[in-house]
Amino acid sequence: MKDQADGYVTADGRQIGPVVMEMKNITLRFGGVEAIKNISFDIRQGEIRAIIGPNGAGKSSMLNVISGFYVPQEGEVWYKGARRPAMKPFQVAQQGIARTFQNIALFEGMSVLDNVMTGRLTHMETSMFWQSIWKGKAEREETENREVAEKIIDFLEIQAIRKTPVSRLSYGLKKRVELARALAAEPSILLLDEPMAGMNVEEKEDMSRFILDVNDEFGTTIALIEHDMGVVMDLSDRVVVMDYGKKIGDGTPHEVRNNQDVIDAYLGIAHD
Amino acid sequence: MPEQLAFTIEVFLNGLMAGVLYALVALGFVLIYKASGIFNYAQGVMALFAALTLAGIVDGQVPFSHLINAIFGTDVHHFGWNVPAFVAILLTMVVMIGLAYAVQRLVFRHLVGQEPIILFMATIGLAYFLEGVGDLMWGSDIKSIDVGLPQGLNMWIDETTFNALGYGFFIDNLDIVASIIAALLVVGLVLFAQYTKQGRAMRAVADDHQAALSVGVSLNFIWILVWSLAGFVALVAGIMWGTKSGVQFSLSLIALKALPVLMLGGFTSIPGAIVGGLIIGVGEKLFEFLIGAPFLGGATENWFAYMLALIFLVFRPQGLFGEKIIERV
């Protein structure tokens, strides 16, 4: 089914579109260590794509390659049908790829609303001059962006803490605010780095629900990293499995679950 | 009203005015420190450089004239025109933005991720370099700046207080104007940081570099922006000091007075820089008037600020408005 060029229909009836991002033979080295070894995979329009693997498999490195924080030594990144030249992380963000971080990178000194508004920065085009004068276009733009931010705040059910400084929030709420900020950019691809790491069961359920809702409501393409197998299998449409920097599996959760290499990587293998 | 009290109030007011100038220099420090973690030792020299440039442009001086004359054997000094103050200020601002760009491009871009002490050393180098360039560009003679700011005794205050209290306060017009401009500057900066796109990006960078990158903010651009803003603040401070006491190279020493101001106010707080500056200004004038001159033989203004800063370092190292230092295990 995934061989169809223009997409496929998922088990629950969602239409998945054509390939929006493709990683071709990516190799990333840190000194002599190969964190990613010749990996290729693609992300399709509207799908929830998971990258899983044991600790140290290179998942986060892969996400950092996609978001431009790392530049791979070999391989090509294709985005929206064109090869992406090496660029800075902020340029990648301006191209419509938003992300969250494993260890939460929020603006601690700002309120929740201000944090979400920074997600709108790439959508503000008024020049500094008009911004400083704060009339006409700048004012209109601020109002429009504020509306989008408020919509997302409502959607993720964080209205009650809109004005709270982020530093005062609990871990689970911070994760949600970070999701809100990334979502505020109305990204073509949303990258989530371990969105459920360190959460309790209830928070994980909330987060899973939000991820599904975001995908459903806005049709956002989501690529996420997670090492909780159970969560990933429920959420994602297709899964890439990494181990020691190599790709050992790629397919639907069902296919991956029955892949012998994957089972070995997760459960250990008897070496003789 | 007893004369002693009237004197004290007058000294207090004059202290406030002096404090405004300290605050302006400290403000430039805070802007750069917040956004990039660089303690810019060169802030005072930037004020000097801005004042030199302004004075030079107004006079129609040929920049680098000594150098040009030495190399080509010519004898050029002045273009022979005077530039109106307003135009000269704009031109100086262009020079300061160019300087900000050059500093970021040639120095700090190559030092991203280095230890704070290395960045600090770079700014010391920058301070001496800039002082040298200023000298080479405009010559080392003392210049005066006159951009049309009112100066001298404010008659209205003098007369009003004389009629009401029987003692006329001596307040310099320039000090009043300086205070108003400084207040406008601070309000403007706060509004800019709070409500504009670039201001929001600036606060984002001040808070977390990684996160700022992930929302599409170019760190380079923001750093050039804050160095330009610091250059603008330096220009304002340079105009005030230059008008008051002439543009001379000792102007760069005012940077040292900004240090105790920052220790008082906290390195990361714009209101802190202002309040710290006012406290130091008022504190040293009042101390001199009430204790220093009568009991300690005077000249306490030279060390009072540093002593106050030392006391603060012992009891409240983060300053009045600085971020709390919390150590978690």
Asked whether residue A4 carries a pLDDT value surpassing 70, the answer given is no
- Residue A62: pLDDT band by 50, 70, 90 thresholds? very high
Residues (pLDDT < 50) of chain B are none
ipTM of the complex: 0.86
Asked whether residue A44 carries a pLDDT value surpassing 90, the answer given is yes
Please list, in sequence order, all residues whose beta carbon lies within 8 angstroms of the beta carbon of residue B182, skipping any fewer than 6 positions away.
Answer: B20, B23, B24, B236, B274
What pLDDT score does A142 carry?
85
Pairing of strands A189-193, A221-225: parallel
- Residue A1: pLDDT band by 50, 70, 90 thresholds? very low
Burial (CB < 10 A; 0-12, 13-18, 19+), residue B288, is buried
> Taking an 8 Å Cβ-Cβ cutoff, which residues of chain B contact chain A?
191-192, 195-201, 203-204, 206-208, 210-219
For residue A187, give how far its alpha carbon lies from the nearest alpha carbon of chain B (Å).
10
DSSP track, A24-35: EEEEEEETTEEE
Q: Does A30 touch chain B if contact means CB atoms closer than 8 Å? A: no
For residue A188, give how far its alpha carbon lies from the nearest alpha carbon of chain B (Å).
13
> Which of B196, B197, B203, B222 best tests the A interface by mutation, with the highest count of A CBs <10 A?
B197
For residue B231, give how far its alpha carbon lies from the nearest alpha carbon of chain A (Å).
17
Whole-model pTM: value is: 0.85
For the ranges A26-30, A232-236, B170-174, the maximum mean pLDDT occurs at A26-30
- Residue in chain B nearest A104 by alpha carbon: B211
CB B134 within 8 A of CB B49: yes
Q: How many residues does chain B have?
A: 329
For residue B208, give how far its alpha carbon lies from the nearest alpha carbon of chain A (Å).
6
Inspect the interface and report whether the beta carbons of A98 and B214 lie closer than 8 Å: yes
Inspect the interface and report whether the beta carbons of A134 and B195 lie closer than 8 Å: yes
Query: CA–CA distance from B202 to each of A95, B120, B206 (Å)?
Result: 21, 21, 6
* Separation between Cα atoms, residue A118 and residue A223, nearest integer Å: 21
Size of interface A-B (CB pairs under 8 A): 85
A residues 83..122 contacting B (CB < 8 A)? 88-91, 93-94, 98-99, 101, 105-110, 114, 117-119, 121-122
> Which of A69, A87, A90, A137 best tests the B interface by mutation, with the highest count of B CBs <10 A?
A90
- Residue A257: pLDDT band by 50, 70, 90 thresholds? confident
Inspect the interface and report whether the beta carbons of B214 and A182 lie closer than 8 Å: yes
Please list, in sequence order, all residues whose beta carbon lies within 8 angstroms of the beta carbon of residue B122, skipping any fewer than 6 positions away.
Answer: B38, B107, B108, B111
Pairing of strands A74-79, A19-30: antiparallel
Nearest by CB to A106, which of B192, B211, B213? B211
Inspect the interface and report whether the beta carbons of B214 and A99 lie closer than 8 Å: yes
- Residue in chain A nearest B201 by alpha carbon: A118
What pLDDT score does A2 carry?
46
Mean model confidence pLDDT for chain A:
88
State pLDDT tens for residues A200-211: 888 888 999 999
> Which of B215, B222, B225 best tests the A interface by mutation, with the highest count of A CBs <10 A?
B215
Greater model confidence, A224 or B158: A224
Q: How many residues does chain A have?
A: 272
b (16+ CB within 10 A) / e for B219-228: bbebbbbbbb
Inspect the interface and report whether the beta carbons of A101 and B213 lie closer than 8 Å: no
- Residue in chain B nearest A187 by alpha carbon: B215
Inspect the interface and report whether the beta carbons of A128 and B198 lie closer than 8 Å: yes
The residue-averaged pLDDT of A38-54 equals 92
* Separation between Cα atoms, residue B285 and residue B288, nearest integer Å: 5
Nearest by CB to B197, which of A88, A110, A126? A126
Domain ranges of chain B: 3-315
Half-sphere exposure of A122 (CA within 13 A, CB side): 26
